[in-house]
Structure 1
């Protein structure tokens, strides 16, 4: 018999809050969480206009649905009522990271997590050299590796918006364009979780 086909799911960021359901349904299936410098993540979400219109600010009216939001606020010594739209965006994104961290720690406490945190910096190299062969247990041919590098040269989020084309690292540009408010919010509500994820093997 031929081996069973491999199936990958790419979940939207808000779906991270449902990780416990996913791991309960598929306890033996490995997963990864791709993370990035908090300021750069903020700029990706705020690039298209005002913070109040950004996706990361739209959960404000149902923040109680996600307990991780309350935890991020508590740890930062802040209250939801006094936050600007930019600050709430950082809280929302921090809560997503917290959900991934919580699920990883829960798995570790039960004998070993199937999760792994992968930094956006050097992502493709990490996938080809470490994540695919050692975490997902995939046997990659040289052609497969070459295809990963080739596909990674395309900006995935641009296919339906006229932005398709060669991928270029925009980290420096995001850092330069970020306002002091964005940097402060990212540092206060997201950086502690970023540092936690950096500390995982």
Structure 2
């Protein structure tokens, strides 16, 4: 540990309070059992009482008011309470990346052994990061520290690339139906590393080391029962496919896609950041005059770039194409075997049950919407699709059918 700050309402000029906080922090950071005990507490008053009791048992005077959290929770970009020169213990995960300069740094939070069963990683962060323990012991590491702490962790079982709005969240949820599987769905710290790698101009070996490190950190076996780790990536990460193949040449990947007009209708209803000009670094997409382009045309060009990336780098190997119309059956019958496991009857039943509900809103039943999306195609969307995406979609379909035939012949 190199520096220590606290984020609580106490007088910074009170040396006794500062000494108590420092001694308590040192005690807890050296004891994983105490981290697990305090990290599991959700109510601030219960946390304060237990922290004071623990401190007293070790001869530390800890004022209750000195550690009572304020109402703000974790605030991105502010000084972190604890800056580490090493990875925190196994129950911790990088929660968020913070841009303090050109190179991102990472704030960690204690998640414990709990399964990440929410549709997106950010939802898990929102659940665990505001806990009192994480507000007091938010740990920050640099990218260099992240890279230095990475060991020879097992490679992920699979990466899910996708066009967006094409069933990728369903893929992630069904893969996560087995409690021995860990699925990281669009974790922001990983995105920060990919963006840095694609825009920094750093040597390829540094980019590879950084990607391996953040994947290892996010995919830690926190429960002691993890058998496979999967990553559902942000849609624009397919543009970094050569980097992923360089870092993880043995890890298979999937590209999920859908008829582009249906994706474009979905993006018009609620735009993802990758389809809004200026929201991603220019170097990622390289679309000239993007800021003056009509929204639907820009979105179609983005989808075109994604499809081109798959086609251009298909020769790197490890890929599987899956069209939205093949789901959910293809997730059990094609994606799972591609990722190294054939679901047994129990796994198959659990995966199939998930397909009956909405992937992004698990409390709701799934309702097919392709017909509705086709009905809502506008002349602008139709024109953009004809100009930019129809030919790419046709090439993806041809490649999917051709590789399926080759696979059948090989078997």
Report the TM-score, using the length of structure 2 for normalisation.
0.40
Q: Does residue 148 of the first structure (1) align with residue 344 of the second (2)?
A: no
The offset of 1:61, in angstroms, is: 7.1
Q: Contact (CA 8 Å) 1:20, 1:103: kept in 2 or not?
A: yes
The offset of 1:81, in angstroms, is: 7.4
Gaps of 5+ in 2: 1-224, 404-411
Instruction: Choose between structure 1 and 2 for higher RCO, CA contacts under 8 A separated by at least 6 residues.
Output: 1
Larger helix proportion of the pair: 1
Equivalent pairs counted in the alignment come to 176
Aligned counterpart, 1:65 = 283
List structure 1 segments (4+ residues) > 3 angstroms apart after TM superposition.
59-64, 66-70, 79-83
Aligned counterpart, 1:110 = none
The offset of 1:68, in angstroms, is: 6.6
The offset of 1:102, in angstroms, is: 1.9
Rounded Cα–Cα distance in structure 2 between residues aligned with 1:44 and 1:24 = 33
Report the TM-score, using the length of structure 1 for normalisation.
0.77
Q: Contact (CA 8 Å) 1:45, 1:55: kept in 2 or not?
A: no
Q: Does residue 195 of the first structure (1) align with residue 394 of the second (2)?
A: yes
Q: Give the 3-state SS of the residue equivalent to 2:322 in structure 1.
A: strand
Larger strand proportion of the pair: 2
Alignment RMSD, CA only? 2.4
Return closer, same or farther for 1:61/1:120 CA change in 2, 3 Å cut-off: closer
Q: Does residue 182 of the first structure (1) align with residue 381 of the second (2)?
A: yes
Rounded Cα–Cα distance in structure 1 between residues aligned with 2:300 and 2:352 = 31
Structure 2 counterparts to residues 1-201 of structure 1, below 5 A: 5-48=227-270, 55-60=273-278, 64-66=282-284, 69=287, 83-105=293-315, 107=316, 113-133=317-337, 135-158=338-361, 164-200=363-399, 201=403
Q: Deviations over 1:101-131 (max 9, x none)?
A: 22213x1xxxxx1011100112211121222
Return closer, same or farther for 1:22/1:117 CA change in 2, 3 Å cut-off: same
Q: Contact (CA 8 Å) 2:276, 2:298: kept in 1 or not?
A: no
